[in-house]
Amino acid sequence: MSVEDYVANIGNLIIDEKIYRSVAHVHQDYLFIDSYICKLIKNAKRVIFIGGYDFLKEAYFLNKFPHKKFILADVSIVALEKIQTEYKGVEILQTTTTNIFTDNNIFSEEGDLIILNTAEYFMNSYQMKNFICRCKGIVLFNNSHLYNPSIGYFLYPIVAEIKAALINLFSIITRCRQMQFRGWFRTKGDYERICRGSNKYLKEIIIDDSSIKPTKYGLTSKAMICFFPK
């Protein structure tokens, strides 16, 4: 149902398509990696943004690199159709919640730069490894939650998954709304293990220093995680 809610929210958006052309400054989500990501875009054959909602955050890059090939992909293309009226060279691609994990050809050209912003909430470790293996190019996860190893970090994910399983089982029986799982807790070591034995290696982790904060599970921050082909 969270996917249905997401699609419904996009369908309710009212956006003046010309606002995309007016975006001249990098969004806060990408501010801490602006120079890094721009360097990758310059060297990429294609730039693929996945799951950007209305893609207003990414409009800065479309405007900065007008001659670069961009692909914008999401489970709903209602908002993306507005972008296509302003950017004729941008390709719009409707995806599903399963084909990005299973389709061998969807993002599998060498020289691709695949960027997902705030994406760890819908990928478990198996799906993430499968995804980065199927992508032949560079895979970049931005705004991923990164935790320092601690006792709280190791215990909480186990408790959270058991709680979600029990609540959702009860919800199915009673036909009530299910609990929305908010994502996995990961450390640098987790990302290293995800790419172990794959065709990628962990190239870079850049932490947004302004996002570092203490929690009862240890220090957490937002970070960019970048995987390069071997």
Give 86-121 pLDDT, tens digit per residue: 888 899 888 876 666 666 567 778 899 999 987 766
Phi-psi region of 106 (alpha: psi -120 to 50; beta: other; left: phi over 0): alpha
Rank 3-7, 40-44, 80-84 by mean pLDDT and report only the highest: 40-44
The span from the CA of 26 to the CA of 30, in Å, is 6
Q: Answer for the pair 54, 81: CB distance below 8 angstroms, yes or no.
A: no
pLDDT range class, residue 224, cuts 50, 70, 90? very high
- The HSE-up count of residue 203 (CA atoms within 13 Å, CB side) is 16
Q: Answer for the pair 182, 121: CB distance below 8 angstroms, yes or no.
A: yes
How many residues belong to the chain? 230
Greater pLDDT, 124 or 90: 90
Q: What is the pLDDT of residue 165?
A: 76
Greater pLDDT, 65 or 7: 65
Let me know how many helices (H) and strands (E) the chain has, helices first.
Answer: 9, 8
pLDDT score of 1 more than 70: no
Q: What is the pLDDT of residue 202?
A: 96
Q: What is the pLDDT of residue 67?
A: 93
Q: What is the pLDDT of residue 76?
A: 80
Q: Answer for the pair 57, 49: CB distance below 8 angstroms, yes or no.
A: no
First vs last Cα of the chain: how many Å apart? Answer: 38
* Pairing assessment for the beta strands 213-215 and 69-74 based on DSSP bridges: unpaired
The span from the CA of 187 to the CA of 118, in Å, is 16
Q: What is the pLDDT of residue 13?
A: 76
pLDDT range class, residue 2, cuts 50, 70, 90? low
Domains in the chain (CATH in brackets) are 2-229 (3.40.50.150)
Residue-wise pLDDT tens digits, 22-81: 999 999 999 999 999 999 999 999 999 988 888 889 999 999 999 999 999 888 887 777
DSSP 211: G
- Tokens 């875009």 sit on residue: 41
Residue-wise pLDDT tens digits, 149-191: 766 666 776 777 787 778 777 777 777 766 555 556 688 888 9
Q: Answer for the pair 9, 3: CB distance below 8 angstroms, yes or no.
A: no
**168 class by beta-carbon count within 10 Å (0-12 exposed, 13-18 middle, 19+ buried):** middle
The span from the CA of 64 to the CA of 42, in Å, is 10
The span from the CA of 102 to the CA of 85, in Å, is 30
